[in-house]
A and B are shown apart, each in its own frame.
Chain A
Amino acid sequence: MTQKAITVADEVLDAALNPLPSIVIDGITVTFKTPKGVFTAIKDISLTVKKGEIVSFIGHSGCGKSTLMGTISGMVKATNGTVTANGKIVTRPGPDRGLVFQNYSLLPWLTVYQNIYTAVDSSVKNKSAKEKQEIVENNLHMVHLWAHKDKLPGQLSGGMKQRVAIARAFAINPGILLLDEPFGALDALTKSNMHVELLKLWNLDNREKTIVMVTHDIEEAIFLSDRVVVMSNGPAATIKEIVDVPLHRPRNKKEIVHDPDYIAIHDHLLNLLIQKFSIDDIEENEEDEN
């Protein structure tokens, strides 16, 4: 009896001290067949993401960030390697991973309410219609769009559409949230608001959701993330470097820019990603390599 109790206690302790990672990317390679031959988008990428971590992928266009995200979400099939999410190998999209796309992807003929309800209805089993309606209502309130629930996407601004898309992803209560350049199409002021709103939503959920984000925006990456994964240039892109962002939370948009640690990280990322900092860096008669 005592022996069994000790084993159970050991297991519980073990689980508490070493929680199962949320996402394990193991040797992922993705290639595509093109008329011109085989194109390798990303090669041999391995990464572990802990539960409740916020991780950003950043890199130049064409560096395979979205492809990598696709292997986690299940929208893209890996040629080699596996991705494990929430303990299960990823083969296709599922309700344990919520997706937010760059182009909102709200269905234009459904109202705000219907867009979220349809998603919840399809993803979430074992809940009654009434419970699903409650979920939709709660999430719409969370993004402050309940008053607009009967509007069509065409009647909303860009920021509002993206908030609906985020509410939709949150509504299916996934353990992992995957955001593919979610704020790329928004103006800078709206974007800044959305950063704070996203972190608020994440906080409301006790910081339990793992968030993986693809972005071009260095400031966005640092402000939101615990770690920033810098990708090398494609093709056959890999991880160039992983930069830790140990800045304390909750983060403040105004104060953070004066934090010396922030400045150091910002400079480091700039160095990793940008070659030309001023007109002095451009040679005369230089050929554009891109």
Chain B
Amino acid sequence: MKNIFSIRTLTSILYFLAGLALLGGIWELIAYITKYEIPTPLMTWNVFKEVVQNPMQNDPDTKGIGTKLLSSLGRVGTGFAFGSLIAIPLGLLMGSNKIVMKIINPMVQILRPVSPLAWFPLGLAIFQDSPKASVFMIFICSLWPTLINAAFGVASTPQDHKNVGKAFGFSRWKYITRIMLPYSLPHILTGLRLSIGVAWMVIVAGEMLSGGIGLGYFVWEEGFNGGSVAKILVAIIIIGIVGLLLDKFFMSLQKRFTYAI
């Protein structure tokens, strides 16, 4: 049994390395074509090593990459937490009550397609403060996927499960805690996973608007203030990896709470 496990992980590692090699190959090609305006993987690696020196440095003029990362994560975390705190209960309510759904759903459908960045100026007007406006922007865009998925989870609770509650006289509280919530939980987690994905994308763009000390602002600095392209690529890689980790975290939670019938 252990052997099979090793072979399987070995092959998936091999596939992963093959993918990396392919990416590296394309990268080299692009670097060559753009006459090294875009640096090669090797050049980028050197800059990467340089960038991750003193990651937690927090002086007024120089900040380590770790500090910047934590700054972005902090803003995302705050906005996401507030958004989820509202989206989950509201979504559960919408899913269980047709009237609430009919009233709130049109608003959701109108507001959802609005680019999250458009909420930034609104946030500025309300809070008169750039970081707070960023958090506001994250808050708004974290709402929709969680809300919709939570509502869907509740609304799609199978009649068979509901019948169990009816047949055995479950109290309202028991129905909610033993049937509705456990069934909806994987859906809520899906919503959270999608929300955090959007939020992480938006903070990078948002920091370009708002300034500050996050990763997004770092990209903006290097990109528009004549910095090094290599540093931009390094930032992109770090952003990508963090996004992947966040996604994997919620995915594993979702799997844990999905039960076979």
Contact = CB atoms under 8 A, between A and B. Distances in A.
A101 B174 contact: no
Contacts of A52: none
Nearest to A125: B169
B261 A75 contact: no
A228 to B, nearest CB: 25
Q: How large is the interface on B (under 10, 10 to 19, 20 to 34, 35 or more residues)?
A: 10 to 19
B178 A75 contact: no
Contact of B160 (A103, A118, A119): A103
A262 B261 CA distance: 38
Interface in B27-57: none
Interface residues of A, number: 25
Interface in A38-74: 73
Contacts of A110: 178
B104 interface: no
A38 B215 CA distance: 63
Contacts of B168: 93, 95, 99, 118-119, 122-123, 168, 172
Interface string B219-261: 0000000000000000000000000000000000000010111
B116 to A, nearest CB: 34
Contacts of A73: 167
Contacts of A75: 163, 166-167
A152 interface: yes
A107 B179 contact: yes
B8 interface: no
Q: DSSP majority for the A interface?
A: loop
A103 B179 CA distance: 16
B161 interface: yes
Contacts of B166: 75, 92-93
A110 to B, nearest CB: 7
A108 B261 contact: yes
Interface in A109-145: 109-110, 118-119, 122-123
Contacts of A123: 168-169
B171 interface: yes
A87 interface: no
Contacts of B261: 104, 106, 108, 153-154
B161 A107 contact: yes
Contacts of A122: 168-171, 174
A246 interface: no
A108 B259 contact: yes
A105 interface: yes
Contacts of A93: 166-169
B182 interface: yes
A7 B85 CA distance: 69
A94 interface: yes
Contacts of B176: none
A108 B166 CA distance: 17
Q: Which 9 A-B pairs have the closest CB atoms?
A: A154-B260, A108-B259, A99-B167, A119-B168, A109-B182, A105-B160, A109-B259, A93-B167, A105-B164
Interface of B: 160-161, 163-164, 166-171, 174, 178-179, 182-183, 257, 259-261
Interface of A: 73, 75, 92-95, 99, 101, 103-110, 118-119, 122-123, 152-154, 168, 172
6 contacts: A105-B164, A107-B179, A109-B257, A110-B178, A152-B259, A153-B260
